[in-house]
Amino acid sequence: VDPRSGEILDADIGMSDVFARGARRQVIEDFSRPAGHAHEHAPANALSSHKKLSTCNYMNESAHELHFAFDLLEARGLDMDSPEAEAVAQSYVKDVIMHEVGHTLGFRHNFKASTVYSAKQIQDVEFTKKNGITTSVMDYTPFNIAAKGEKQPEYGMSTLGAYDYWVVDYAYRQIDAAKETEELAKIAARSTEPQLIYATDEDAGYATMFYGIDPEANRFDLGADPLEYYKKRLKLSRELWDRLEALQLKPGESYERLTRSFVAGLNQVARVAPLAAKYVGGVKHLRDRAGSGRALYEPTSPARQREALKLVADGLLKVDSFKFRPEFVSRIGIDHFERRANPDVSISAAVLGTQRQALDVLLADNVAQRLLDSADKVADPSKAFKLAELYDTVQNAIWSELKAGGDINPLRRNLQREHLRRVVNALVKPAPTTPADARALQRMNAQQLAAQIKAAMGKAGNKETKAHLAESLDLLSEALKASIQRTV
């Protein structure tokens, strides 16, 4: 790029012939670290932040999508040597290359392009061949997989979208110099058209550097109703796991097949969890200039926040959220050529990593502050979604066994300890960013939880459950009595 003018002098795409297979290998190697967000780790400083935001990771992240699609389709009976399987792989190659060509032309990501078309439209092959499944190849687009029993639509982007034609027109139309300002203004004036909606990396969020507050600006969502897409994706993951549990491997086939497919489904849940959680305390925002007549910031409706919170609580935080047959769990194996120090596999640890991603969003201080502020932005504050409701819902889902009594399994004990760790830290050493009302609610909920644990002690089942509850009660009691350590 010419630093004086920004003119692109040369731009290339390098593609390995194994760039799709590589991610499938990575799935097994990274078993204990579900993919989740592509932006898991925040850069250390401003310079690295700029470089990181300028980096496109679509190829690798989309490869995980491809392998989830392959694993599910294979479990449904797809022959991996068939023309259909080849077509799935080629659709991935075409989608990724179109995206990267956009970067060589100087275009940034557009993470709202995926929210324009309805679920019905993106299931219509004739519609998507003409318009695409999103309005831009510059989005991070998941594979468009049909639900069980539905007709399969196009898997990915097979053509450019309306937004792509528009930005090419603005950047590259040949215009007489005397009319350039006027003509470019006419093209830019179309920015409020629904198909040209735009949001980029900063809007989608990047760890703690840029908080993503808009629940409709995301990597890897699809359709005009993202929550419906997330529900569907959870069902597809569950379908994959159910098929794996019933799968009879061929003699001589490696158990890595089960490991790979299990993690592919878990990665999908890990992607969905924080995106659905963004609706809680979410604020839709636009990049309009004066004159558009639209509000720049629009808080998510209480009904949508409750719907999203229920999806996360039911799908990730309740007793029935993750259940696997012991016969299946005992067959989840490792690659012995990549043997680790402890060759045993812990599914509960992998699941906890996914649950943490949802809790990181739901219990973040900035979410608490937005919920507290939302009462000032609605005509009837009593109808606003309240922070107390969020804390109560999360705590009740995680500690639901306290009412019934009996055994608490290891997977659930892990999640309860994770929640307890956050509660204790909030009581003893609250962050300077924690709102005062959030601290007060956390203390009240901790007192309620301590009383519930104490009442449940007599109904506890096995010794492990009794020890877990006793330790939890001790930690809570000590934290509630401890002096607060203020951080500066």
User: Using one digit for the tens of pLDDT, what is the confidence trace for 390-437?
Assistant: 999 999 999 999 988 889 999 999 999 999 999 999 999 988 999 999
- As given in the structure block, the two tokens for residue 273 are 């969890």
Task: Quote the pLDDT of residue 46.
Answer: 45
Mean pLDDT, range 290-318, rounded to an integer: 91
Q: Are 112 and 199 in contact (CB under 8 A)?
A: yes
Mean pLDDT, range 373-402, rounded to an integer: 89
**Is the pLDDT at 29 greater than 60, yes or no?**
no
- Alpha carbon 486 to its chain centroid, in Å, reads 32
Gap between the Cα atoms of 259 and 333, Å rounded:
6
Gap between the Cα atoms of 43 and 122, Å rounded:
36
User: Using one digit for the tens of pLDDT, what is the confidence trace for 113-127?
Assistant: 999 999 999 999 999
- As given in the structure block, the two tokens for residue 292 are 């558009």
Among residues of the chain, what percentage have pLDDT more than 70? 90
Task: Quote the pLDDT of residue 13.
Answer: 84
In this prediction, residue 257 has a pLDDT band, given cuts at 50, 70 and 90, of confident
Among residues of the chain, what percentage have pLDDT more than 90? 64
Q: Are 166 and 120 in contact (CB under 8 A)?
A: no
- Alpha carbon 427 to its chain centroid, in Å, reads 29
Task: Quote the pLDDT of residue 128.
Answer: 97
In this prediction, residue 289 has a pLDDT band, given cuts at 50, 70 and 90, of confident
Q: Are 468 and 408 in contact (CB under 8 A)?
A: yes
Mean pLDDT, range 93-109, rounded to an integer: 94
**Is the pLDDT at 372 greater than 80, yes or no?**
yes
- As given in the structure block, the two tokens for residue 19 are 């760039």
Task: Quote the pLDDT of residue 44.
Answer: 44
Gap between the Cα atoms of 111 and 136, Å rounded:
9
Average pLDDT of the chain is 88
Beta strands in 264-315 (DSSP E): 283-285, 297-299
The answer for residues whose C-beta is within 8 angstroms of residue 348's C-beta and 6 or more apart is 410, 411, 414
Task: Quote the pLDDT of residue 461.
Answer: 82
Gap between the Cα atoms of 113 and 105, Å rounded:
18
- As given in the structure block, the two tokens for residue 235 are 């069902």
> Helix, strand, or coil here: 71?
helix
Better pLDDT: 217 or 376 = 217
Judged by phi (left if over 0) then psi (alpha if -120 to 50, else beta), residue 306 lies in alpha
The answer for residues whose C-beta is within 8 angstroms of residue 254's C-beta and 6 or more apart is 333
Q: What are phi and psi of 393, to 5 degrees?
A: -65, -45
- Say which DSSP state 298 is in: E
Least confident segment among 246-255, 392-401, 474-483: 246-255
Long-range contacts of 141-146 (CB under 8 A, 24+ apart): 141/62, 141/95, 141/114, 141/220, 141/222, 142/65, 142/220, 142/221, 142/222, 142/233, 143/65, 143/66, 143/68, 143/69, 143/92, 144/222, 145/69, 145/72, 145/73, 145/236
Continuous segment of H or E residues that includes residue 79: none
Query: How many C-beta atoms surround the C-beta of residue 57 within 10 A?
Result: 12
- As given in the structure block, the two tokens for residue 131 are 């318009």
Gap between the Cα atoms of 133 and 117, Å rounded:
7
**Is the pLDDT at 16 greater than 80, yes or no?**
no
**Is the pLDDT at 254 greater than 90, yes or no?**
no
- Say which DSSP state 217 is in: S
**Is the pLDDT at 376 greater than 60, yes or no?**
yes
User: Using one digit for the tens of pLDDT, what is the confidence trace for 135-165?
Assistant: 999 999 999 999 999 999 999 999 999 999 9
The answer for residues whose C-beta is within 8 angstroms of residue 150's C-beta and 6 or more apart is 123
In this prediction, residue 28 has a pLDDT band, given cuts at 50, 70 and 90, of low
Task: Quote the pLDDT of residue 455.
Answer: 92
Gap between the Cα atoms of 72 and 242, Å rounded:
11
Looking only at the bridges linking them, the beta strands covering 297-299 and 283-285 are: antiparallel
Task: Quote the pLDDT of residue 24.
Answer: 57
> Helix, strand, or coil here: 72?
helix
Enumerate the H helices of 173-255 as residue ranges.
180-188, 201-204, 226-246
Q: How far is CA 105 from CA 60, 113, 168, 170, in A?
A: 21, 18, 8, 12
- As given in the structure block, the two tokens for residue 468 are 């877990």
User: Using one digit for the tens of pLDDT, what is the confidence trace for 277-286?
Assistant: 999 999 999 9
**Is the pLDDT at 453 greater than 50, yes or no?**
yes
- Alpha carbon 189 to its chain centroid, in Å, reads 33
Mean pLDDT, range 255-273, rounded to an integer: 90
Task: Quote the pLDDT of residue 122.
Answer: 96
**Is the pLDDT at 268 greater than 60, yes or no?**
yes
Q: Are 128 and 155 in contact (CB under 8 A)?
A: no
Q: Are 409 and 417 in contact (CB under 8 A)?
A: no
Mean pLDDT, range 221-244, rounded to an integer: 95
Task: Quote the pLDDT of residue 470.
Answer: 95
Gap between the Cα atoms of 338 and 329, Å rounded:
20
Q: What DSSP string runs through 441-482? A: HHHHHHHHHHHHHHHHGGGB-SHHHHHHHHHHHHHHHHHHHS
Least confident segment among 16-20, 72-76, 404-408: 16-20
pTM, 2 dp: 0.88
Mean pLDDT, range 64-70, rounded to an integer: 92
Task: Quote the pLDDT of residue 344.
Answer: 73
